[in-house]
Amino acid sequence: MSPRQWFKGNLHTHSTNSDGDAGPQHVAGWYGQHGYDFLVLSDHNHLTVIEDAAEHAGDWPMLLLGEELTVAATGRPVHLNGIGIGARIEPVTRDTVTEALQANVDLVRAAGGLASINHPNYKWAFDDRAMQAVEGVWAFEVFNGHPSTNNLPAGGRPGTEQIWDRLLSGGKRILGVATDDAHHFKGEFGPERANPGRGWVSVEAEACTPAEIMSSLEAGRFYASTGAVIGALKNEKTEIVLEIEPRSDEACTVTFIGSRGRELWRVDGNTARYRPSKLDTYVRAFVQTSRGTRAWTQPVFVSG
Ligand SMILES: [Zn+2]
Ligand SMILES: [Zn+2]
């Protein structure tokens, strides 16, 4: 068995096959030039396949096929990614957000993919109440780099982390991903544009092949990041240990979070350790750096 390594990937991005401003080859090239190991070109209701991708194996990331299933239910946008699917899916709508999510999650699973619910706070479409009853969801976006996705809590509305903790506290086993949802690869980059490079996952796997990456994603052997780098991670029921690799002199704080979003333990420094107790139902770690970058480990389910 080869030792596991970290592989960096973006699970959500667009090209001219939907509403992105650059062709799929340009998009794959951007991610290749910026150190990504794998990429999902997730165009709206379109399966982007680059026929000659094998010829670019050295300069492009490994491409996992995916699609952003995009519908509206009761006038609200319902978007979810099917990751690792083998063929295009025709998404369906239903009379409620919950039913629309469920129907499309079922289609993704039937196509052999992982279903990830995208940007719940985009246009304030829905929150945990619509997601709690949906079965078979693999993950949701705890961070989306598009400027209109309202990741943080404000105005009395829950941020994505609050949504996550409510789902987890309600007994739902759902993972968290960070993504770019990039649309803009051309022209000047800025905070009002949906540029690439803002959110990604780092996956621990034995090799960067579709099968290995899919297997690690499904098992939760990854963390989500907007820049913070975790060099070593033990994420088990008995013990959670993070070793952060700071960039230059950046300072780090790690917070361990449990049921109902409660702070269980906080560590200032680059190494943090927590031993879950029998009273913890789940524990997840959140990293904040002085640079403003963040990282989220996957929840460890302690009971059951
Ligand atoms: Zn979307
Ligand atoms: Zn998108």
CATH of the domain at 260: 2.60.40
| Distance from Cα 291 to the centre of ligand 2, integer Å | 26
Structure tokens at 278: 């029998």
Q: Is the dihedral of CA 95, 97, 98, 99 positive or negative?
A: positive
Is 197 in the same domain as 238? no
Among 129, 174, 180, CA closest to 298? 174
Mean pLDDT of the chain: 97
Q: Is 131 helix (H, G, I), strand (E, B) or coil?
A: helix
Residue 80 CA to ligand 2 centre (angstroms): 9
Are 120 and 134 in a shared domain? yes
Could you tell me the distance, in angstroms and rounded to a whole number, from the CA of residue 300 to the centre of ligand 1?
A: 28
The ligand with the least distance to the CA atom of 125 is 1
Task: Give the C-alpha separation, 93 to 72, whole Å.
Answer: 7
Residues 6+ apart with CB under 8 A from 150: 119, 121, 122, 124, 157, 159
Tell me, in angstroms, the distance from the centre of ligand 2 to residue 150's CA.
14
- Do 258 and 303 belong together in one domain? yes
Strand positions, DSSP E, the chain: 5-10, 38-41, 62-73, 76-83, 114-117, 139-144, 175-179, 200-205, 222-225, 230-235, 240-244, 252-258, 262-268, 271-274, 282-289, 294-297, 300-301
Q: Inform me whether the pLDDT recorded for 122 exceeds 70.
A: yes
- From 226, 255, 287, give the residue that closes a domain: 226
Residue 228 Cα to ligand 2 middle (Å): 23
Same domain, 298 and 162: no
Which ligand places an atom closest to the C-alpha of 121? 1
Cα 13 to middle of ligand 2, angstroms: 6
The residue among 182, 210, 226 that closes a domain is: 226
**178 and 248 together in one domain:** no
**1 has a pLDDT exceeding 60:** no
- Distance, CA 191 to ligand 1 centroid (Å)? 18
Instruction: Please check whether residues 42 and 162 belong to one and the same domain.
Output: yes
> Could you give phi then psi for residue 18, rounded to 5 degrees?
-135, -115
The alpha carbon of 119 and the centre of ligand 2 are apart by a number of angstroms equal to 9
How many angstroms does the Cα of residue 18 sit away from the middle of ligand 2? Answer: 9
Pair 151, 275 in one domain = no
Q: For residue 117, report the distance from its CA to the centre of ligand 2, in Å.
A: 11
Report the alpha-carbon distance of residue 223 to residue 205 in Å, rounded.
12
For ion ligand 2, residues whose CB falls within 5 Å? 68, 181
- Helix ranges (H only) for the chain are 24-33, 97-110, 128-131, 160-169, 210-219
pTM over 0.75: yes
Q: Where residue 76 sits, what CATH number does that domain have?
A: 3.20.20.140
pLDDT tens digits for range 238-290: 999 999 998 989 999 999 999 999 999 999 999 999 999 988 999 999 999 99
What number of residues does the chain have?
Answer: 304
Residues 64 and 202 in one domain: yes
Q: Which domain holds residue 12?
A: 5-226
237 φ, ψ (degrees, to nearest 5) = -60, -35
Q: Residues of the chain with pLDDT > 70: what percent?
A: 99
Whole-number Å distance, alpha carbon 46 to ligand 2 midpoint, is: 12
The number of folded domains in the chain is: 2
**Do both 137 and 272 map to the same domain?**
no
Yes or no: say if 119 and 146 are a contact pair by the CB < 8 Å rule.
Answer: yes
Are residues 149 and 198 both part of a single domain? yes
Together in a domain, 116 and 194: yes
Q: How many CB atoms lie within 10 A of CB 64?
A: 22
- Distance (angstroms) between ligand 1 centre and the Cα of 120 equals 9
CA of 79 to the centre of ligand 1 (A): 5
The domain boundary residue, chosen from 192, 226, 260? 226
**Intra-chain end-to-end CA distance of the chain, in Å:** 29
Task: Identify whether residues 254 and 183 lie together within a single domain.
Answer: no
Rounded to the nearest whole angstrom, what is the distance from the C-alpha of residue 149 to the centroid of ligand 1?
9
In 3D, which of 114, 73, 107 has the Cα closest to residue 91?
Answer: 107
- Report which of 90, 36, 104, 102 is spatially closest to residue 64, judged by C-alpha positions: 36
Beta strands in 1-152 (DSSP E): 5-10, 38-41, 62-73, 76-83, 114-117, 139-144
Task: Say if residue 2's pLDDT is above 90.
Answer: no
Amino acid type, 55:
E
| Mean pLDDT in residue range 207-221 | 98
pLDDT value, residue 89: 98
What are the tens digits of pLDDT across the range 153-186?
999 999 999 999 999 999 999 999 999 999 999 9
Ligand 1 centroid – CA 130 distance (Å)? 17
